[in-house]
Chains A and B, each alone.
Chain A
Amino acid sequence: MSPTATCRRILHVVIAATGLTVLVSANAQQPSAGLPKPKAPANPVHSIVLPQYAPEIADGPNKEIYQRNCLTCHTARYVSMQPRFSKTVWQSEVKKMVDAYGAPIPEADQALIVEYLVAVKGIEAPTAPTAPTK
């Protein structure tokens, strides 16, 4: 959210809260006065701020190459949430990112990324994610 939008949002909330207070106190004095409902102007700009839930990135060979190429576009959770898979599956996933999703990963890096994925989420990998690949 831009600073302006943030200010507008906060202002909106303040106006709404203030209006409510006025209504409650007025009603307490004149329960049947039928005061017009305070109407805060609807804010036409709707904004949210996305929180950060970036995960720890498992250590493994070529970790930096994985980070540089893959995490520009998506979180490391795309890997960390997966079950373990064979090298063939990981090769296919990397190929899909390049061929289908247009990830500009240099050819030389693709095999290195597969190596990382096999080390941290490979079916043949030892349980310790830091272990070097065979």
Chain B
Amino acid sequence: METMPTGSSGRLGRRRFVSMLASLGGLAAVGNAFGSALAFYSNPESATGPTKSAPFQMARYPQKTELILLTDRPPQLETPLRYFQTDLTPNDAFFVRWHLSGIPTTVDLRTFRLEVSGHVRKLLSLSLKDLQSKFEPLSLVALAQCAGNSRSLFEPKVPGGQWGNGAMGNARWKGARLKDVLDTAGVLPGAVQVGLHGLDVAPMPKTPPFEKSLQIDHARDGDVMIAYEMNGEPLPMLNGFPLRLIVPGWYATYWVKALSSITVLDQPLKTFWMDKAYRIADNADANEEPQHLSAVTVPINRMAVHSIFVRPEPDQQLRAGQPYELAGVANDGVEGIRRVEISQDGGQTWSDATLGADLGKYSWRRWQAKWTPPAKGSYRLMVRATNAAGETQRTAQWNRSGYQRDVIEHLDVVAI
């Protein structure tokens, strides 16, 4: 572990340059980052107009299996639902989401360093090997979920990545506690936040580099970690090789990929990515109305209670009179899922599903429920989850950016 004398300011240190292909610049849209000029969502046409998106295409990227292609530059790849039938999502099927098209495509471990700087006693410059050998490893299962997962289901539609339910994945992460790394650097009194930055680069001089911040107490809670393994393997490049910040229970916007710089700050980080983007209405369900947008917004944070169907898939036909095993996954932020209920009659009656393995409070929980369609016809299936704190899901929800979806999922199926 190299240490250097302190003396740098609290600004985010310039990350070490790592050889990177001349990826074309990237100027990625994040879900509607601005709160201005929003009356247009009230346009009644937007709910009834020809809003169908172009059909999705599949794509195969390095170290990945065939995934649903949302965008190719920068890559945004969605996991097909069938991969959600195991507790841990395979690395090659794990969703991908970058903001800036200058993404790292080459990392030389001989020169790669994670720099820790700012409001600390000593600067650190850590190699991957340092992280692996000089800190006690922590291993935990945690769900990574994009803030905009399920965005395409919001009505009226909102701009941004038109994700279905596959912008998430559950993995076992192994790494060093951020707390231990910060303690080694020695956080000075007066620290309020840590700023986090990865190897991706902004394409234009005025494009804000992607960076996020966490409150210092959160950063030191002992569960926030710097992962070097994902399901027992190094991370795929597109999921953040060689190091990714894991913020268990929080939306993946904070899980900075290819983490290369940690800056301890004595002032809150000022950045587009905290101040303008990834903000939600200041209420528990990130809920607002198109005609009455919330005047007060806060940075998105813990994941809401959320549950989806994995089986059957939309448009799948079932057989009347034949038993079928409904299945899906449910998650929340930091409490853990306690109960999942299914309705087969559009929400009039509910029955308990069987919960799968409990892999810890930060993991999703798989569920199953047997159902026999009694007769030919159409059925509206619904699923709702409740977490250990008694929090459950809403029947309706909307917000301008399509974030933090926690609305009770329905699935219309036909029995033949």
Contacts and interface: CB of A to CB of B under 8 A. Distances in A.
Binding site of B, secondary structure by majority: helix, strand, loop or mixed? loop
A29 interface: no
A54 B73 CA distance: 8
Given A45-B107, A75-B71, A123-B43, A96 B33 contact: yes
A24 B214 CA distance: 51
B258 to A, nearest CB: 11
A43 B322 CA distance: 54
A20 to B, nearest CB: 19
B34 A86 contact: no
B25 A85 contact: no
B57 interface: yes
Interface in A78-94: 78, 80-86, 88-89, 91-93
A45 B74 contact: no
Contact of A123 (B45, B152, B238, B277): B45
A32 interface: no
Interface string B234-250: 00011001100000000
B194 to A, nearest CB: 24
B404 interface: no
Contacts of B60: 51
A72 interface: yes
A99 B21 CA distance: 28
B109 interface: yes
A49 B45 contact: no
Interface of B: 21, 23-29, 32-34, 36-40, 43, 45-46, 49-54, 57, 59-63, 69-75, 101, 103, 105-110, 152, 157, 159, 161-162, 202-208, 237-238, 241-242, 272, 276-277
A94 to B, nearest CB: 11
Contacts of B73: 50, 54, 74-75, 77
A119 to B, nearest CB: 14
Interface string A10-44: 00000000000000000000000000000000001
B237 A53 contact: no
Contact of B203 (A72, A77, A83, A91): A72
A55 to B, nearest CB: 8
B46 A85 contact: yes
Contacts of B29: 74, 78, 93, 96-97, 101
Given A84-B51, A103-B27, A47 B106 contact: yes
A22 to B, nearest CB: 25
A91 B110 CA distance: 46
Contacts of B28: 73-74, 78, 101
Contacts of A80: 54
Contacts of B204: 73, 101-104
A46 B233 CA distance: 14
What 7 A-B pairs come out closest when comparing CB atoms?
Answer: A102-B206, A73-B27, A88-B40, A48-B62, A53-B72, A83-B51, A75-B73
